[in-house]
């Protein structure tokens, strides 16, 4: 039976539309045909657009803003040819505002609707859940705005402005070192600015997204932060051994804090031994069902199903290494 609504808690829609130059109102076939022959990694391999989201009943998502500050390119892990970095936080802020403008345009043409409150959420869910199963959805897709990596927050006045514009969740870091802490493949606690950021987030009742925090920054953040927590797109280290995933003690702490962990569909986050740029899903007999092992592991640790969801990241860095 087709579900009436699926909630995907991590999609980089605006980044994908602007940096990859994709009109997400187009059909998947049309987008892929336009990219045939392009040499940029991931070309003609995208999986998400508004028609496909509606066909799959993904009527609600956490949609991101994403822009990095990269003062030292040589120190940064290069996860994709498409990741752009900026030489100042001010440039990164401007990029996130362009992404916000794209979301506003999609609202204006009826493709999306921003969810800023519980009342707006309840209203949106009612519209989708009352839609007959046999009819494809023509309703706007709801989105909750999140910021992946906080390098673009130049001052805390910028954070207040972002919140006024609908920002409801924030992850302090991405890969490597950042202004506010240390991310994937790096090590170290939050910076002084990172500790101040958590205090400002508490005052605004923003959700802390612990995805991408390295182990030391993860524990530092959870010791200090008293507000709501989630992990939008992270898997289990016991099933896929890499610091990008959570160890069991981290998962247990997130469960204790009432968090939900969204399962990501990047192959490197699903199995042991994946090599970026060399491995292929067929090398591991890898299918989408593998994610069920991660889901089951969290459910076993929790003793229930309330702490796991999906955060596919299928409009993420590079869809050529994602599992469908």
What are the tens digits of pLDDT across the range 170-182?
999 999 999 999 9
At residue 4, the pLDDT reads 87
* Torsion angle, alpha carbons of 225, 229, 232, 238, to 10: 80
Query: Rounded distance, CA 311 to CA 11, Å?
Result: 7
Rounded CA Rg of the chain: 19
Q: Which residues contact 108 (CB under 8 A, 6 or more apart)?
A: none
Residue-by-residue DSSP string for 77-139 = ----TT--EESSHHHHHHHHHHHHHHHHHHHHTTSEEE--SHHHHHHHHHHHHTS-TTS---S
At residue 324, the pLDDT reads 54
At residue 236, the pLDDT reads 98
Q: How far is CA 160 from the centre of its chain?
A: 21
Q: How far is CA 140 from the centre of its chain?
A: 20
At residue 81, the pLDDT reads 43
Nearest to 265 by CA among 241, 295, 222, 300: 295
Q: Tell me, yes or no, if the pTM score tops 0.75.
A: yes
Residue matched to tokens 């593998």: 290
At residue 80, the pLDDT reads 43
Residue-by-residue DSSP string for 198-245 = HHHHHHHTPEEE-TTB-HHHHHHHHHH--S-EEBSS--BTTTS-STTS
Task: Show the low-confidence residues of the chain (pLDDT under 50).
Answer: 73-82
- pLDDT digit string (tens) for 178-220? 999 999 999 999 999 999 999 999 999 999 999 999 999 999 9
Half-sphere exposure of 153 (CA within 13 A, CB side): 27
Residue 166 CB burial class (10 angstroms; 0-12, 13-18, ≥19): middle
Query: Rounded distance, CA 109 to CA 105, Å?
Result: 6
At residue 321, the pLDDT reads 67
């Amino acid at each position: 039976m087709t579900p009436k609504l699926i909630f995907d808690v991590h999609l980089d829609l605006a980044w994908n539309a602007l940096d990859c130059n994709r009109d997400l109102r187009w059909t998947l076939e049309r987008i892929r045909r336009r990219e045939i022959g392009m040499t940029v990694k991931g070309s003609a391999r995208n999986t998400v657009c508004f028609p496909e989201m509606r066909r799959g009943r993904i009527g609600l998502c956490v949609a991101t803003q994403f822009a990095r500050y990269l003062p030292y390119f040589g120190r940064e892990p290069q996860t994709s040819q498409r990741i752009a970095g900026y030489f100042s936080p001010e440039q990164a802020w401007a990029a996130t505002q362009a992404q916000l403008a794209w979301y506003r345009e999609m609202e204006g043409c009826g493709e999306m609707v921003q969810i800023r409150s519980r009342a707006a959420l309840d209203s949106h869910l009612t519209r989708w859940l009352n839609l007959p199963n046999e009819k494809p959805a023509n309703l706007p897709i709801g989105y909750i705005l999140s910021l992946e990596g906080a390098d673009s927050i130049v001052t805390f006045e910028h954070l207040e402005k972002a919140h006024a514009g609908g920002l409801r969740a924030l992850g302090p870091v991405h890969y490597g070192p950042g202004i506010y802490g240390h991310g994937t493949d790096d090590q170290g606690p939050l910076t002084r600015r990172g500790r101040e950021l958590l205090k400002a987030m508490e005052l605004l009742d923003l959700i802390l997204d612990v995805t991408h925090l390295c182990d030391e920054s993860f524990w530092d953040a959870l010791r200090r932060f008293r507000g709501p927590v989630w992990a939008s797109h992270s898997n289990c280290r016991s099933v896929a051994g890499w610091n990008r995933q959570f160890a069991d003690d981290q998962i247990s702490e997130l469960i204790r804090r009432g968090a939900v962990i969204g399962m990501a569909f990047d192959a490197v986050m699903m199995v042991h031994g994946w090599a970026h740029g060399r491995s292929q899903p067929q090398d591991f007999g890898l299918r989408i069902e593998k994610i069920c092992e991660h889901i089951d592991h969290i459910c076993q640790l929790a003793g229930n199903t309330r702490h796991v969801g999906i955060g596919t990241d299928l409009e993420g860095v590079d869809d050529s290494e994602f599992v469908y």
